[in-house]
A and B are shown apart, each in its own frame.
Chain A
């Protein structure tokens, strides 16, 4: 049996922006014993998007006079080339949608515009983007293209474990991603790393139950994956969603904020869809990017630094005037710490 203390706590990482937020909002984060530490891992899709991919979209929009369509959280993320919000303030069209299929509707209603949907997100978002591509093809919306920046969670977790940059005793696994990929998808990496993981939902009771099961596994030195959210997550996930995803996407490589280049960590458009691939249709020079001075987002997304340890946190960087994506996105760790007073955890 392993023992933990306030100076050597059991460290649980959650890898889902909704968990990050809800663990604060429900008060769980403040009420756990001092021998349990919660850290946020790479679970916020906007936060893990590399600046060069967003910068590429901005350069593309400028060079080819494109309308950019994306999710709301992406718009305010700053890069050395500005943000989509600054692009809009300079007269370019930036359209926010709730659902990727709304991008097809927009393109059909604005045939004089050349539109690019900037798709970010983990496995949870991929079926919706695949459906939008399906609609684009069926409805022949020739003025709509896709800049696909989808991330696969499991390869990133593997790189994170192997990097040795964070010591994790257990993982609280995300209900939404797991609904698609299935609880069994984590087994190979968790078995090889000797870390236990528990798939859990988002209500207070579900998160507490998940943490309790996880702590038992950690203390007993056991590993493997427990599915504590069987109401929604099946062992093999949603096979219909996996099939829809694989109709349009294939495994590729990609850059992650904080983790760098990771082979097989992305889903990219299949070659037969290169006619709608914005990266191919609207080429731009590789943007040179660097983090804003002082910004620790690259460490925050890995759980290697707490938001409050960033010199910009709650001073130069706030939700109203964010410097890094972890403060921009409502799913970001910095935004959650700011809103719920997480800095108080460290006095």
Chain B
């Protein structure tokens, strides 16, 4: 999570930055990790959990490159 403005924030994920909504995680702070679904943060994650999820997506993306 990067900048926060009202109910919106900028989040980066695997080198992609995009605007997300944070309506239902109002306590989120810059630097936190969040679980995002359909452009909305639905829960704050701890760093360890976030790293595991990022690893999973990295593996998936590497596979896609390979398969394509």
Tell me if A98 and B38 are in contact (CB < 8 A): yes
Does any Cβ of B come within 8 Å of A43's Cβ?
no
Chain A residues with CB under 8 A of B39:
98-102, 128
Q: A22-B56, A125-B38, A232-B43 are in contact. Are A201 and B49 (CB under 8 A)?
A: yes
Does any Cβ of B come within 8 Å of A121's Cβ?
yes
Number of residue pairs A-B, CB distance < 8 angstroms = 79
Tell me if A176 and B37 are in contact (CB < 8 A): yes
Chain A nearest CB: distance from B15 CB in Å?
16
**In whole angstroms, how far apart are the Cα atoms of A124 and B24 in the complex?**
12
Tell me if A202 and B56 are in contact (CB < 8 A): yes
Contact with B along A126-164 (1 / 0, CB 8 A): 011101001000000000000000000000000000000
Tell me if A176 and B35 are in contact (CB < 8 A): yes
Instruction: For A339, give the chain B residue with the smallest CB separation.
Output: B67
Contact with A along B8-33 (1 / 0, CB 8 A): 00000000000011011110000000
Chain B residues with CB under 8 A of A98:
38-39
Tell me if A240 and B23 are in contact (CB < 8 A): yes
Tell me if B38 and A231 are in contact (CB < 8 A): no
Does any Cβ of A come within 8 Å of B5's Cβ?
no
Chief secondary structure at chain A's binding surface: helix
**A: interface residue count bin:** 20 to 34
**Residue from the list B7, B24, B59 in contact with A238, Cβ < 8 A:** B24
Chain A nearest CB: distance from B32 CB in Å?
13
**In whole angstroms, how far apart are the Cα atoms of A277 and B13 in the complex?**
34
Q: How many B residues have CB within 8 A of the partner chain?
A: 25
Chain B residues with CB under 8 A of A131:
7, 21, 23, 40
Chain A residues with CB under 8 A of B59:
25
**In whole angstroms, how far apart are the Cα atoms of A203 and B49 in the complex?**
9
Does any Cβ of B come within 8 Å of A180's Cβ?
yes
Tell me if A203 and B24 are in contact (CB < 8 A): no
Tell me if A179 and B35 are in contact (CB < 8 A): yes
Chain A nearest CB: distance from B68 CB in Å?
12
Does any Cβ of B come within 8 Å of A244's Cβ?
yes
Chain A nearest CB: distance from B52 CB in Å?
4
Chain B residues with CB under 8 A of A129:
38
Does any Cβ of B come within 8 Å of A241's Cβ?
yes
Chain A nearest CB: distance from B6 CB in Å?
12
**Residue from the list B24, B26, B53 in contact with A127, Cβ < 8 A:** B24
**Residue from the list B40, B46, B60 in contact with A25, Cβ < 8 A:** B60
Q: A22-B56, A127-B40, A131-B40 are in contact. Are A241 and B45 (CB under 8 A)?
A: no
**In whole angstroms, how far apart are the Cα atoms of A210 and B30 in the complex?**
31
The 4 closest A-B pairs by CB, nearest first: A99-B39, A128-B38, A128-B40, A241-B24
In the complex, besides A127-B40, A232-B45, 17 extra interface pairs with C-beta distance below 8 angstroms are A71-B38, A98-B38, A99-B21, A99-B38, A100-B39, A102-B39, A121-B38, A125-B37, A127-B42, A129-B38, A134-B23, A176-B35, A202-B56, A204-B56, A231-B46, A232-B35, A238-B43
